[in-house]
Amino acid sequence: MKENISDWIIERNHQYIILNKPAGIPTQSDKTNDADLLTAMQAYAKSDLKLINRLDRPVSGCVILAKSKNATTHLSNSDKIVKTYLAIVEPTLPKESDTLVAYLTKGKTNKAYLSEVEKEGYRKAEMSYKLLHTFDKYQLVEIELHSGRFHQIRVMLAHLGCPVKGDVKYGARRANKDRSIGLHAWKIALDHPVHGKMEHYTSPLPNNDTIWTLAADILK
């Protein structure tokens, strides 16, 4: 892995490491056998680390790695972590803000499928979104997850008719040149395993797309 791993680190303490994962790198080892984030960080930190959250390969942003058994147990409790994403989507969202509830399942082709009604084999998924800005051809959306299902944000936005930029798997018009998609795990808030106070971390936006550059200026 040629990247400077230290540049990914947002926070490092005795309990956990927060990283800004670049798009295109697997969070953990997969069937491609490409260099992955977890293996690289364990070699860098010279210690065993446990993934608390995972991001799809084409997604960038905040990843949490626990350094101790206590931290792993504590942070694995989902109600102790608040995850906020930014998405660049194809227009136009039906409402400026909304809370979405649906039922999702993972298919055999590594793709999620959505049902608007509860059915066997599907799990409830919930998230809220808020429109932040409208560009000429895209919209910038803030998303807060209330559950963590496979490809949840991607399939739920696509169901609205607003697929994530570059996400051809879920209906985007064209792929991004670097195979990334316009989805970024922007902020993480977590209940610290030792002192119990909420800690907040923000992951810098990618610089691989003009829309992200414009978004960074808007969010200042």
Positive or negative: CA dihedral 80, 85, 91, 96: positive
3-state SS assignment for residue 202? strand
56 among known catalytic residues: yes
Check residue 150 and give left, alpha or beta (phi > 0: left; psi -120 to 50: alpha): beta
Q: Take residue 82 and report the two structure tokens written for it.
A: 């608040």
- DSSP E strands, 28-149: 50-51, 60-66, 81-89, 97-106, 112-115, 123-134, 139-145
3-state SS assignment for residue 10? strand
Euclidean distance between CA atoms 175 and 182, whole angstroms? 10
Q: Which of 7, 36, 48, 56 is catalytic?
A: 56
Instruction: Just list the catalytic residues.
Output: 56
